[in-house]
């Protein structure tokens, strides 16, 4: 008898591939960072917990607060040390948003100087951390034109940041007219006293800039500076200083003197 062929094992369908692990994005838990967080090529990749924008920052920014490039809300970069691999196994090499703070601020200041007004909002998100670099963006001498759109835009930023800008601006007195203007607009006692001291400078351009700066203050307690401006106006022999002091006095009288 011819032997029967061996029984063919029952058909076994192939095992389905393992389900892909979903890449989670942050929920509405603002202030924390959820997976995925990936460390690759010295960069940290994570999602903004406020708007879910994907952010790629340099590893050096771990633990620091940065503004999201989309919503500009401050987020904390996750620590690089315990970062797990991406659940989906991806390697991120996108370097378009390296967040070295100094380099980023310098780039934003450059963009403002090139006329990009939208960059101001991003700089303001850095708060007082931005002040040194913004101050460095001001003009470097009185030889530069008085009309300077870039310096004016940077001045607006420093004024909005406020008191934290005062000491760095004082360090630029004698170089930047807009440092005088910013101090006057900020109007703290420290700022006003710095401008009053400049009224005794032997450099008439510094005195003129101090007069202009004092005339810009809106501090309701600053009416006392009018007497300093009047004395400067009486003692100067420089027409530009005489005019600047007079204009400042009129501006302050209109703004600060109580109306009867």
pLDDT on residue 40: 60
For the chain, how far is it from start to end, CA to CA, in angstroms? 130
pLDDT on residue 250: 96
Residue 177 in domain: yes
Residue 20 in domain: no
Residue 192 in domain: yes
What is the full DSSP assignment across 103-170? HHHHHHHHHHHTT-TTHHHHHHTTGGGGHHHHHHTS-SSTTS-S--HHHHHHHHHHHHHGGGGHHHHH
pLDDT on residue 249: 96
pLDDT on residue 35: 40
- Domain end residue (candidates: 53, 80, 99): 99
- Domain end residue (candidates: 82, 99, 116): 99
pLDDT on residue 117: 81
Strand partners for 40: 43
Rounded CA gap, 222 and 225, in Å? 6
Instruction: Say if residue 175 is in the same domain as residue 225.
Output: yes
pLDDT on residue 113: 86
Rounded CA gap, 165 and 87, in Å? 44
Residue 13 in domain: no
Residue 19 in domain: no
Instruction: Say if residue 155 is in the same domain as residue 55.
Output: no
Residue 197 in domain: yes
Instruction: Say if residue 116 is in the same domain as residue 143.
Output: yes
Range of the domain at 239: 101-256
Instruction: Say if residue 126 is in the same domain as residue 43.
Output: no
Instruction: Say if residue 78 is in the same domain as residue 185.
Output: no
Instruction: Say if residue 135 is in the same domain as residue 189.
Output: yes
Instruction: Say if residue 175 is in the same domain as residue 237.
Output: yes
Residue 1 in domain: no
What is the DSSP secondary structure assignment for residue 67, as one 8-state letter? E
pLDDT on residue 207: 97
Residue 58 three-state SS: strand
* pLDDT tens, per residue, the chain with 260 residues: 555 555 555 555 555 443 333 334 444 333 443 445 666 666 788 788 777 787 888 777 777 888 887 878 888 887 654 444 444 454 443 333 334 455 588 888 999 888 888 888 888 888 898 999 999 999 999 988 888 899 999 999 999 999 999 999 999 999 999 999 999 999 999 999 999 999 999 999 999 999 999 999 999 999 999 999 999 999 999 999 999 999 999 999 999 876 54
For strand 38-40 and strand 43-47, is the pairing parallel, antiparallel, or unpaired? Answer: antiparallel
pLDDT on residue 92: 40
- Domain end residue (candidates: 99, 120, 135): 99
Rounded CA gap, 240 and 141, in Å? 18
Query: Tell me, what CATH number does 246's domain have?
Result: 1.25.10.10
Instruction: Say if residue 53 is in the same domain as residue 172.
Output: no
pLDDT on residue 15: 53
Give the pair of three-digit tokens for residue 234. Answer: 């009486």
Instruction: Say if residue 108 is in the same domain as residue 236.
Output: yes
pLDDT on residue 259: 58
pLDDT on residue 76: 83
Instruction: Say if residue 45 is in the same domain as residue 120.
Output: no
Domain count for the chain, please give it.
Answer: 2
What is the full DSSP assignment across 2-55? PPPPPPPPPP-PPPPPPPPPP-----S-TTS--S--EEETTEEEEE-TTT--EE
Residue 17 in domain: no
Instruction: Say if residue 117 is in the same domain as residue 32.
Output: no
Instruction: Say if residue 183 is in the same domain as residue 167.
Output: yes
């Amino acid at each position: 008898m011819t032997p029967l062929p061996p029984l063919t094992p029952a058909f076994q369908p192939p095992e389905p591939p393992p389900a892909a692990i979903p890449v989670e994005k942050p929920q509405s838990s603002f202030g924390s960072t959820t997976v995925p967080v990936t460390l690759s090529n010295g960069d940290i990749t994570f999602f903004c917990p406020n708007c879910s924008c994907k952010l790629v920052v340099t590893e050096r920014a771990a633990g620091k607060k940065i503004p999201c490039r989309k919503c500009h809300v401050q987020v904390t970069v996750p620590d690089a040390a315990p970062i797990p691999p991406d659940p989906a196994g991806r390697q991120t090499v996108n370097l378009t948003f390296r967040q070295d703070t100094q380099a980023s601020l310098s780039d934003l200041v450059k963009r403002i100087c090139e006329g990009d007004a939208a960059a101001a909002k991003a700089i303001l998100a850095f708060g007082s951390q931005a002040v040194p670099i913004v101050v460095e963006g001001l003009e470097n001498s009185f030889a530069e034109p008085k009309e300077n759109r870039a310096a004016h835009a940077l001045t607006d930023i420093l004024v909005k940041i406020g008191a934290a800008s005062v000491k760095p601006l004082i360090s630029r007195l004698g170089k930047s007219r807009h440092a005088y203007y910013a101090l006057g607009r900020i109007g703290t006692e420290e700022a006003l006293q710095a401008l009053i001291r400049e009224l005794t400078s032997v450099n008439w351009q510094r005195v003129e800039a101090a007069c202009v700066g004092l005339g810009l203050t809106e501090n309701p307690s600053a009416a006392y500076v009018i007497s300093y401006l009047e004395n400067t106006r009486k003692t100067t022999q420089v027409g530009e200083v005489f005019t600047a002091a007079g204009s400042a006095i009129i501006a302050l009288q209109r703004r600060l003197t109580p109306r009867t």
